[in-house]
Structure formats: structure tokens, C-alpha cells
A = this chain, B = another copy of it.
Amino acid sequence: MRTNRQWLLGKRPKGPVAETHFRLAEAPAPGPQDGEALVQNLYLSTDPTQRGWMSRDTYLPVVRLLEVMRSFAVGRVVESKNPAFAPGELVSGLFGWQDYAIVKQHQQVLRVPQDVPIPQSMSALGVTGLTAYFGLLEIGQPKPGDTVVVSGAAGATGSVVGQIARLKGCRAIGIAGGKEKCEWLVREARFDAAIDYKAEDVGARLRELCPKGIDVYFDNVGGAILDHALACLAMHGRVVLCGAIATYNDDALVGPKNYLNLLLKRGRMEGFIILDYLARAGPALAQLAGWLKAGELVDRVDVLEGFENVPKALVRLFAGANQGKQLVKIAD
């Protein structure tokens, strides 16, 4: 009998998410029924969007209290009563913060390529990389010579956004928190410039670095930085709404007070959800893999180890303590 450790949603956060919002539990792992497979999770993902899932219906229903916390994960098929899944195979999906998950035919499950390290398959070569790819190229519509600014730039999505912008002939400017992250952006990820929002005047630096304005602003953070970017928008500028990690912990919603600059600058602000693009993942992942192999794209992954550290990893993300994609390895 396999023991299934689980992190349940213990209570809904008011304000910042903390480890105390989760409750550890154990249950026997379920046996797969006909048409099902049992997956053992190897790596769990932490993502800013999980904060929304804990509090309210979003593009997915809210996680119920005492339900296993929803999460992306990569696991290995250990038992299968479905010919579509072979034991030993690696798959990814919304398997939750637990050791074992049941996969059904109808669930959204992606195959994980065998020739890619698992952490990378969850970062630049996974949903995170696809978020950067489709968000920037489809919604942002960058043209060569454009100035592209991305917030949360040292994060998993943001760092790929800026690098794709550079590969498409744009100037890439990243906004991140702290000297180390900003240095990494310029030196390793080869952004044209980086702004340290913890130490610098973001508005002044944007005006300085973007004298012709921002053509594409890819927003991962919301809040004051979104306002600074709107104030600096170029004519016909595009704002890609990917997330708003700076606001997810707040109870009171605050809107971008400079939104009317969209009117003055004939600008556009548009949101997207990566789940809509998964059917087109193949060619995008091939392109990302090509860049990575050629050394034109660097990926940074921050792996904690141990099932007990899973809630801590999510809290780290909101503190900005992670260096790139934050994962937790829970089994070999």
C-alpha cells in the first residue's frame, strides 16, 4: 500500500499567503480504475496564479477547503489501466500537491519529453516558457526595433519574455527586485538593461531607458509598476496582462490609475490564459528548445527538496526569494 502525502488547503488567506494556510495529511494512494493511471509526482511547481486559486473562482474554480492544493506537477506513471499511459512514462498536469495522483483519459495531461531534464520541462520548455512565448508574440505583437519592457523579469516567465524579445530584434528591458537579479538579467540573460525596483525610481528609469516610450509592456506584477509603465507607453503601445503578483496578496483591489493613457496613446491592454494555447504547444516548444540548445536562451531553475518544503516554496515566490522557476523535488 502506497502512502500519499498531501498538502490540503487548510484555510483561505486574508492578505499574504503563509505556510499556515496549508495542512499536511496522509492517505492511502488510490488504485487506478479502468481507464485511469496512477502517477507518482516527482516535481511540484509553484506559480503566482495559485494564490488566486486559494481565494476565489478565477479561470478555474476556487480550491475547496480541505481539498488537495491544486498545482502543476511532473510525475511518472506507476500503474496504468489505460493503454494511453505506459508505466515509466513521464507526464505533466494539474496533479496537485501530493505524492500520487489519478490521471483520467479526459484530463489535460502533457507528455514530458525524455531528452529534457524534468526541471527544464517545467520551466522554459514547459507551460512557463509557453506563457512567455504566446503572451509576448501573440498578444504583444513585437516588431523589430520595438522597446519591450517586462516586470518580474528575473522570474521564470519574465526572463524568457525578455530573451525572446531580444531574439526578435527588440530592445529588452527588465524590472526585477535586487541587484543580483538585475545583474543576472543583463549578464546572463542578455537583456539590454534592468531596473531594480527596490533601489531605483522605476518611473524615472523607464523614461530614461525608453525615450520613445514602451512599445510592449509584459506585466507579471500589477500595482505601482504597471502604472509606471502605462505612464511611459509609446503610441499604439501594447500591455500584455499575464499576472499581478504584487496585488494577489491584497484584499483591496487597486486598479491602474494611469489606464487613460491607453486612450491618449491609442494603446491596448489585453489579457490571456496559457491554457488556451496548449493545443499549439508543439512548434513553440520546438522553437524554445532550439534557442536553448543554441545557447541563445538561458533558463534558471530554483529547486527546493522535500515534500515538507512545498508551502515554503510558494511563500518564497511571493517574497521574491526565488531565482527563476521555483520547483520542489519530492521524489526521484
Which residues on B sit within 8 Å (CB–CB) of A104? none
Q: Output the nearest chain B residue to A270 by Cβ-Cβ distance.
A: B268
Q: Which residue of B lies closest to A261 (CB)?
A: B271
Instruction: Say yes or no for A65: interface residue by CB 8 A criterion.
Output: no
A332 contacts chain B at the CB level, 8 A cutoff: no
Q: Is A186 an interface residue (CB 8 A)?
A: no
* Interface size class of chain A, counting residues whose CB lies under 8 Å from the partner chain: 20 to 34
Interface 1/0 per residue, A59-86 and B, CB below 8 Å: 1000000000000000000000000000
**Whole-angstrom distance between the alpha carbons of A242 and B263 in the complex?**
7
- What 0/1 pattern do residues 267 to 291 of A give for CB contact below 8 A with B? 1111111001000000000000000
Task: Please name all residues of chain B whose beta carbon is closer than 8 Å to the beta carbon of A242 when the two chains form the complex.
Answer: 263
Q: Is the pair A59, B264 in contact by a Cβ cutoff of 8 Å? A: yes
**Cβ–Cβ contact A271 & B260, under 8 A:** yes
Q: How far is the CB of A116 from the nearest CB of chain B, in Å?
A: 29
In the complex, how many angstroms separate the beta carbon of A231 from the nearest chain B beta carbon?
A: 11
Max chain B Cβ within 10 angstroms of own Cβ: one of A58, A244, A247, A269: A269
Interface check A294, CB cutoff 8 A: no
Do A271 and B276 contact each other (CB < 8 Å), given the known contacts A253-B257, A255-B254?
no
Residues of chain B with a CB closer than 8 A to A142's CB: none
Copies of this chain, count = 2
Once A256-B256, A257-B253, A259-B259 are accepted as A-B contacts, the answer to whether A269 and B270 lie under 8 Å apart by CB is: yes
B263 close to A241 (CB less than 8 A): yes
**Is A324 located at the chain interface by the 8 A CB criterion?**
no
Does A262 lie at the interface of the complex (its beta carbon under 8 Å from any beta carbon of B)? yes
Q: Given A266-B273, A268-B268, A271-B266, verify A260-B222 contact (CB < 8 Å).
A: yes
Q: How far is the CB of A24 from chain B (nearest CB, A)?
A: 31
| A270 x B267 contact (CB < 8 A) | yes
Name A267's contact: one of B222, B262, B271 (CB within 8 Å): B271
Q: Give Cα A276–Cα B268 distance, bound, in whole angstroms.
A: 16
A272 adjacent to B266 (CB under 8 Å): yes
Q: Is A50 an interface residue (CB 8 A)?
A: no
Report the separation of the CA atoms of residues A257 and B257 in the bound assembly, to the nearest whole angstrom.
Answer: 9
B254 touches A262 (CB 8 A): no
Q: List 14 A-B contacts (CB under 8 A).
A: A59-B264, A222-B260, A227-B255, A241-B263, A244-B260, A254-B257, A255-B259, A256-B256, A256-B259, A259-B269, A263-B273, A264-B271, A265-B271, A269-B270
Q: Which 10 A-B pairs have the closest CB atoms?
A: A255-B255, A263-B271, A253-B257, A262-B271, A255-B257, A255-B256, A268-B270, A241-B263, A269-B269, A59-B264
18 further interface pairs, Cβ-Cβ under 8 Å (given A254-B257, A266-B276, A267-B270): A241-B260, A241-B262, A241-B263, A242-B263, A243-B263, A247-B260, A253-B258, A255-B255, A255-B256, A255-B257, A255-B259, A256-B256, A256-B259, A262-B270, A263-B273, A266-B272, A267-B271, A268-B271
Binding site for B on A (CB under 8 A): 58-59, 222, 227, 241-244, 247, 253-260, 262-273, 276
